[in-house]
Amino acid sequence: MKKYVAESVGTFWLVLGGCGSAVLAAAFPEVGIGLLGVSLAFGLTVMTMAYAIGHISGCHLNPAVSIGLWAGRRFPSNQLLPYIVAQVVGAVAAGIVLYLIASGKSGFAASAGFAANGYGSHSPGGYSLFAALITEVVMTMMFLLVILGSTDKRAPQGMAPIAIGLCLTLIHLISIPVTNTSVNPARSTGVALFAGGWAIGQLWLFWLAPIVGAFLGAKIYDYIGAEEA
């Protein structure tokens, strides 16, 4: 049970820190942190939680990561569903807290975006469904490659959280204009429920694409990371 609580708390921090920076601070008058700041915020949430709870739950914070680790034979199947449930619960709890904070400002409307992921007219840069699909699959694939490689027993010890956090930062730097960056179905769900309408209607992509990408990343690392006989 401690593992599941840790995953829930960790995912709560990821969504509150990452999406919170986008909703509250990205365009704050004159001193907004912009896309660079939001990208760093997502990376920092993962890095800090990896050091805080990595030794307890593994710090997945992401259903796609749990599925990818399972596909790469690094995670037991009997814990997969409880991890995913815990992650979604943490993400929704963060969405609630963020909504309560953001709604304290006059004129706030969650339906205007609320850091939700989208494509087409709801893509920050107006990118198509196909572009969003490719982006989310490839970014999640590379994320899993970095996770699996940096946590390999042959990799430098103690450095994995830094590599994973910086990888997530880089992913956001590349893909925020395309989809607002998901690579994490729980993160997408936690804010889509409050943005409503279009965000819920497009949520399927931000479950499907990261899961496909995670499988691909796991299988690629299975091949390139296999020890020679």
| Domains of the chain in sequence order | 1-225 (1.20.1080.10)
Instruction: Report whether pLDDT(229) > 70.
Output: no
| Residue 175 near residue 187, CB atoms below 8 Å | no
* pLDDT given for residue 158 in this prediction: 87
φ/ψ bin of 128: left (φ > 0), alpha (ψ from -120 to 50), beta (otherwise) = beta
Task: Say if pTM beats, i.e. exceeds, 0.85.
Answer: yes
- 91: buried, middle or exposed (CB in 10 Å: 19+, 13-18, 0-12)? buried
* Residue (of 137, 138, 3, 187) closest to 80 by Cα position: 3
Sign of the Cα pseudo-torsion (23, 194, 117, 11, in order): positive
* pLDDT given for residue 226 in this prediction: 79
The tokens for 117 are: 């992921």
Q: How many residues does the chain have?
A: 229
Instruction: Report whether pLDDT(228) > 80.
Output: no
* Residue (of 28, 64, 75) closest to 215 by Cα position: 64
Instruction: Report whether pLDDT(131) > 80.
Output: yes
Asked which of 29-43, 79-93, 203-217 is least confident by mean pLDDT, the reply is 29-43
